[in-house]
Structure 1
Amino acid sequence: MRHFPKWMIVIVLGFIVIGTVIFTTMQSYRYNDMTKQMKEAAQVAINKNVDKSIRVDETKLSFVETEFEKDFKSLFNKNQNFKVKSYSFDYLKSSDGFYKAIKIKVIDDQDSPYQITFVSDFLNAN
C-alpha cells in the first residue's frame, strides 16, 4: 500500500508521455501530408500554365503567375477538411527573367504554416 502513490505517479507520467508522442506523430503526419499535396498541386499547376508561345529557347521557361496561383489554390483545396487562411507565393527568377524556383507558403485554420520551395525541372516541362 505504501508504493501506491509512486505507481500512480508513474502511470500518470506514462499517459502524458504516450499522449505527447501521439500528438507529435499526428502533427508530423499532417505536415508531411500537406507538403506532399502542395508539391503535387504545384506540379500540376505549373505544367498546366507553361506559356508555350514564349518558349522560343527550349532551355528557358515562362508561365503566367496569376493563372498558376489560381490553379494551385483550386487544386490544393480539393477534398480538404480544413480552411486555408492565406497563401503566399515568392518567385525566384534568373537574371534574364526566367523562373528558377517558387516558394509557396500556406497558413491553415490552426495558424500552422506549411512551406515548400518548388524547384522543378523547368527546362523539361511540357
Structure 2
Amino acid sequence: MNSRTPPLGDTTGLWQAVLAAAAGRCQCRGTCGKTHAKDGGRCPVVHGGYARHGAGPVSLLAAPAEPDGLLLPAHRAAALPKRELAAWCPACHDATRRTAAKAQQAASPAVEPDALFTL
C-alpha cells in the first residue's frame, strides 16, 4: 500500500522526486527526539502506510532536510532545490520543527521591551 498520489500543488514533480529519493519512507534519523533504534536509526513510516493503530494513512511531506530549514518562511522553503529537501512524516516534521524553534529561541538574546516611562 504505497500510493504515490502527489499533492495538488506539485506541478513540477518535486514532491515525487523527493519521495523517490527517500524510497517512500520518512528520512528522519532522530532529530524528532526519537532514536528510531528498532528501525536502524531511521523512521519506519512509509507513505500511504499507517503510523499507528486507529490512524489513517500517512502522507509524507517534502520539506527542508535540515532542522533549521524547517523554520524558514513558506515562500523560501518552497524555493529550495531537491537536494536540500527530505521526506518527513507529519509526526517527525512537527517534533523536529518544535525542537528547532526552541533551540533558536534559547540561542537568541532576550530583548527587553521598550519602556514607556523611565524610572
TM-score normalized with structure 1 length: 0.21
Q: RCO (CA 8 Å, sep 6+): is it higher in 1 or 2?
A: 2
**Structure showing the higher helix proportion among its residues:** 1
**Structure showing the higher strand proportion among its residues:** 1
TM-score normalized with structure 2 length: 0.22
